[in-house]
Amino acid sequence: MLRSAGEPLAPQQGGGLVERLRRDAPLAAGDLGVASFSYLLTLALRFDGSVPTRYWSSFWRFLPVALAIHLLVHQLCGLYDPMWRYASVHEARRIVLAGTVGGAGVVFASLAVGWAVGGLRALPLSVTTFGAVLTLLGSGAIRFQSRLFATTQRPGDREQRRVLIVGAGSAGSMILKDLLRSPSLGLHPVGLVDDDRRKLGRRLHGVAVRGPRSAIPRLVEELDANVVLLAIPSATSELVREVAAACEGAHVTLKVLPDVHETVGGKVSARDIRDLRIEDLLGRKQVETDLEAVAGMLRGRRVLVTGAGGSIGSEIARQVASIGPAALVLLDHDETHLHDVLMSLDELRATRATDGVVDLVAAGTRVETVLADIRDRERVFGVFMRCRPEIVFHAAAHKHVPVLEVHPEEALATNVIGTANLADAAVGSGTERFVLISTDKAINPASVMGASKWMAEQVVRSLQNGHSVLCAVRFGNVLGSRGSVIPTFFRQIAAGGPVTVTDPNMTRYFMSVQEAVQLVLQAAALSTGGEVFTLDMGEPVRILDLAERLIRLSGRIPRHDVPIQIVGARPGEKTVEDIVAPDEEPLPSGHPAIVVSRPPVPDRAAVHRALAELEHLVPVAPPSELADRMKAMAAGPMRPTAAGDRDANLRQPV
């Protein structure tokens, strides 16, 4: 840690030396005072206050030598350069190094004097040794005094909120240290909670670990805490719900840290503290991913993501970008959404660079945007022939059930015909792997949206051949996505209600977008072609219970502060979503959170004939007839018929 050869000892400007001496003089004077007092004190203690005359005289002759050694070593170790108010472990190591080297120099100098005068040391070895130790401690104290006493500062213009921290691990340590260092935040830690019995009664940065999680209500009362902070970024939704229930019973506010996937480099600080969200209660499930298999599939490859501006597509783009593909092509028909996802990649890149972490968008990855509509077959083929993607994630789709019940032609055009355009182009251009993002609504579909996604699955799987691997991945609702029930509930709560629930028994499966995409990438790596993967979405959530949770999260009482109104199911909605279709036998996939099935392979000619029939109905039949026909087709498998060969050329890849 000594000053490098290329680092100047003093500024080169004319007035720099005078300014440096004026700046460093108080600290140097403090070092001289500390060293003088340290050696004088150890000398007096060595002889119980009765110092022999010969040692007194040699002490005063040797003291300037000791002081000069310490000042020189402090200068060489850079102890006069840092802004000590912001010092860290790096600077503390410098102090230890300077004290050790300086003390060794003083001991050697004392021994050298003894050798020079025939064996009489300038000072006893105990004096030079312990004097050097005290000098080290004193030099550190005067430099870290602002940090040592910062925790006692209390700004008078801001009320301090007493915080009980749950989690005495690495994240808890970082947050606690940050809060103690920044009293202006108005958050004063009063205790820690941790289930590790080995930590009970121990102290972390001076704050005691008071008990396990079960003691939260008692500790809130004993410590007069009014905020509980869950400092466990890896906490599952079950753990979050448990702590939230304890806080609700204790009538205190719960704050949390972001999920581990949202943190940068695993580091957290007080600025990351936020309010509890519904995603924390429902969507924090730890997903184990075979990163090596996923990286082997994506690294150095050309990847295309459709619907890249949507909730799922943008998260796929972010996670794929972090792995390091050769090229990442982002396709969307909405220029605003396309711009937003591109900006999010740039922002994450800047955040990672600022925090000293590896760039999110891996070095060498070329990111390209394509503004195009997947319903435009000629445009889609042009994009594929130009970009030659090796991996395709197809997330573009219309998804709102009530809207598509009224506009089935749009569901057909985007979800079915658009998928056919993409799948044909993928096979025709030699794409190695094509992944369709599907939905649990495609299982026994009762809606136009579900029927259209079921038909999209048939289109994709009917094209499976020996050259391209095509599969579909199904999952439920994504927390926080545009148009989902959760933002709708929050808007209704903010307006004072009523919160509208379609059916008191209606349930849905929910996943966080990060969790869903992790599993989509894993399923893509597992696919050998023709499969339908279904993600483990946990337990179904009753929508009425969800509405009540959101009202409580907003600090209000369900049915008292905010009314709840049952309005009846909307067209196309099922009370309970199915997980597996009757003709699908779920099998283990090799991953605990993914189930795979291999339904009967759809007949390609039958699929083409069905698409032709539906396209013919669009201009001549009312929307209701088209909707009924789509649902009827989705009620049974597409089997080959005698006329199959005759229509097989309706939609051949170009």
Tens-place pLDDT, residues 112-129: 877 766 556 677 888 888
The arithmetic mean of pLDDT across residues 610-632, rounded, is 93
pLDDT band at 131 (very low <50, low <70, confident <90, very high): confident
The model's pLDDT over 22-41, given as tens digits with 9 standing for 90+, comes to 667 888 888 888 888 988 88
DSSP 138-152: HHHHHHHHHHHTGGG
pLDDT at 435: 97
Does 498 sit behind a cis peptide bond, omega within 30 degrees of 0 on the bond before it?
Answer: yes
Q: What is the DSSP letter of 355?
A: T
The distance between the two most distant Cα atoms of the chain, rounded to a whole number of Å, is 121
CA end-to-end distance (rounded Å), the chain: 66
**359/212: higher pLDDT:** 212
Domains and CATH numbers, the chain: 16-148 (no CATH), 161-276 (3.40.50.720), 291-633 (3.40.50.720)
Average pLDDT of the segment spanning 389-406? 95
Query: Mean pLDDT lowest for which of 77-81, 295-299, 499-503, 650-654?
Result: 650-654
Q: Is the pLDDT of residue 233 over 80?
A: yes
User: Which of 230-234, 300-304, 418-422, 648-652 has the lowest average pLDDT?
Assistant: 648-652
Highest mean pLDDT among 403-417, 466-480, 640-654: 403-417
In this predicted structure, what is the pLDDT of residue 652? 37
11 has a pLDDT exceeding 70: no
Helical segments of 252-359, H only: 278-282, 291-298, 311-323, 335-354
- 260-264 average pLDDT score: 55
The two beta strands, 564-566 and 477-478, are unpaired
The predicted structure's pLDDT at residue 372: 96
Greater pLDDT, 24 or 382: 382
- Half-sphere CA count of 505, side-chain side, radius 13 A: 3
pLDDT at residue 117, as a whole number: 62
Residue 639 has pLDDT above 60, yes or no: no
Cβ-Cβ contacts under 8 Å for 345 (sequence gap 6 or more): 317, 318, 321, 360, 361, 367
Chain segment 298-343, per-residue pLDDT in tens: 999 999 999 999 999 999 999 999 888 999 999 999 999 999 999 9
282, pLDDT greater than 80: no
CA-to-CA dists, residue 621 to 410, 455, 616, angstroms: 14, 20, 9
Q: Residue for token digits 């999952």? A: 475
> DSSP secondary-structure letter at 28?
H
Q: What is the mean pLDDT of residues 191-200?
A: 90
Tokens standing for residue 246 = 């304890």
Phi first, then psi: give them for residue 330, nearest 5 degrees: -105, 115
Question: What CA–CA distance (Å, rounded) separates 408 from 193?
Answer: 54
Residue 285: the pLDDT is: 61
pLDDT greater than 80 at residue 202? yes
Residues in Cβ contact with 642 at an 8 Å cutoff, skipping those fewer than 6 apart: none
C-alpha of 573 from chain center: 33
pLDDT band at 482 (very low <50, low <70, confident <90, very high): low
Can you tell me the mean pLDDT for 345-367? 59
Q: Tell me: cis bond preceding 487? Omega within 30 of 0 counts.
A: no
Least confident span in 31-40, 395-404, 611-620: 31-40
Name the most confidently modeled range: 366-375, 535-544, 572-581: 366-375
What does the pLDDT read at residue 229? Answer: 92
What's the confidence (pLDDT) of residue 303? 97
